[in-house]
Structure 1
Amino acid sequence: MTVRVDGADEVGRGPLSTAALAVYRALVLEVLLLLTLAPTIVVWTLLVPDPTNVWLYALSGLAIGPALSAGLYASRAWALERDQRPAAAFWRGYVRGFWPVLRWWTPALALAAILVLDVAFADHVPGGAALRPAAVLLLAVLTVVAGHLLVVTTFFSFRTLDAARIALYCLGRCPTASLGVLALVVAGVGLAVLGGDVLALLLLFAFVRLAHLNARSVLTLVTETFTRHA
């Protein structure tokens, strides 16, 4: 008789084994996020925080989308399996989502850069101050839609335009998740400002895991509404 030893048997199911596995996965996720975000981290560290550099910030931020997508993909895969190769799930998600994410992440960053410039230089344009709230609101909506679109692109295989429409649909249908995206972004920015960039970078894994938990209602809605059931 042959006894099959799977990931769960290797890891064990006791509380200590579960805790050790959770810590191990968190460390692996943190290291891989730092690795894939290295170009962004280096450039953003060297840039002077000035609105005139917004296009350089946007260009160097291209690496963020695929990295977050891989982190979300790995987080969901880990919830379904208990093997001791967490890095494999991350790289699988990175390769799978790289181009699908970049196809919309690139124009989204460009639009965000334009809105940031509108907010920063509103006082230099006649009537610009009155339009600043609208630019801030559009930037907030873009942030939430991008958060939902990241989830849709990571876990489903829709065309880019269809995925964008679904993300807009989720904007109103998943209000808790929409507020959650904004809360995570505000918390991340606040942590970087108040606690420093190093602390924010060291908590990247927590940000991604919370983003995965926040996306559950979006995943359920998209699965039940836009996919076929056998």
Structure 2
Amino acid sequence: MSDVFGARRQFGDGPLSRAAALVYTVLVVELLLLVTTAPGLVALMLLERDVSNLPLAAACALPLGPAVSAALYALHHQRPDPTDLHPARVFWRGYRANLADVLRIWVPLLLWLTVIAMNLAHLPAASVPRWWAAPLVLVGAGVTLVGVNALVIASLFSFRFRDILRLARYFLVRAPSVTLGNAGLLVAVAALTVLASEAVVVALGAVLALALLVGSRPMITAIRKEFIG
């Protein structure tokens, strides 16, 4: 009996087994991402790429925030042992637990970005100098990076909402590697959206969430060491 248990443990501890567990988890998380974002994604694909549809596009993106949060939660809590994998169960647990906090972050973020995008699109019509585009883009980038940090923190930790925002702003400067990594990831997502489509981004959603999680490790580790007693 002990030999069987030892063999099972050895199987679960090997690098190939851990890799297989990660691949399986990513695939399951991707499937659940598609399921939870499908209504908004279908509606978004039907919209024409026109400035007037920006508010509708933001509404279609509402399911994306909770889905990404649940994906981060599931990937963070994944077990390396292939004999004890339940990514779907962990995904839904994270989805339910983080839904309220994530929506408090995600909805204002979408509103801010929609307002900024609308202003950028209508600068010529408003007779506003073109150089106004630069500060608007900087504000949009800053708001987005703080929002991404807040999304990661809300997905993995239980803090008060105002503390989540404070930590998100704090680590924007405290962890420059995380900020630069998130900025690069956002640029890649924007490029994929423009050059391909939103469907391609969602199809790679679990991989992108894993990249976000890995890139945010310094912030996650610092929060665990410094802010969790």
TM-score (norm 1): 0.89
Asked if structure 2 preserves the Cα contact closer than 8 Å seen for 1:11 and 1:21, the reply is: no
Alignment match, 1:203: 204
Percent identity for Structure 1 against Structure 2: 35
TM-score by length of 2: 0.90
User: Which range moved further: 175-184 or 185-194?
Assistant: 185-194
The 1:109/1:197 distance shift into structure 2, 3 A limit, reads closer
Secondary structure of the 1:48 match is: coil
The corresponding residue for 1:101 is: 102
1:123 alignment partner, SS class: coil
Which amino acid in the other structure matches residue 148 of structure 1? N
Distance 1:113 1:4, change over 3 A: farther
Taking structure 1 as reference, are residues 157 and 192 closer, same or farther at Cα in structure 2, changes over 3 Å only? same
Q: For the residues of structure 2 that align with 1:3 and 1:94, how far apart are their CA atoms?
A: 39
In the TM superposition, 1:185-204 aligns within 5 A as 185-204=186-205
Aligned to 1:37: 37
SS in 2 for 1:37: helix
2:132 equivalent in structure 1: 131
Report the alpha carbon displacement of residue 59 of structure 1 after superposing the two structures with TM.
1.4
Match of 2:185 in 1: 184
Deviates more, 1:21-30 or 1:166-175: 21-30
SS in structure 2 of the partner of residue 78 of structure 1: coil
Q: Which stretch shows the higher mean deviation, 139-148 or 201-210?
A: 201-210
Give the corresponding residue for 1:152: 153
- The letter for the 2-side match of 1:168 is R
Secondary structure of 1:12's aligned partner: helix
1:58–1:109 Cα contact (<8 Å) kept: yes
Range 216-225 or range 70-79, more displaced: 216-225
Cα distance, 1:92 vs structure 2 = 1.1
Paired residues, number: 227
RMSD: 2.4
> Aligned ranges for residues 3-82 of structure 1 at < 5 Å?
9=9, 12-78=12-78
How many angstroms apart in 1 are the aligned matches of 2:180 and 2:227? 22
How far 1:15 sits from its partner (Å)?
Answer: 4.3
* Per-residue Cα deviation, 1:77-118 (whole angstroms, up to 9, x for no partner): 015665221111111111111111101211111111101111
Deviation (angstroms), 1:10: 9.9
Deviations 1:25-74 (CA, angstroms, capped at 9, x unpaired): 12101101111111221111011111111111111211111111111111
Contact 2:18 2:81 in 1 (8 A): no
Unpaired runs of at least 5, structure 1: none
* Alignment partners' CA distance in 1, 2:95 and 2:75: 12
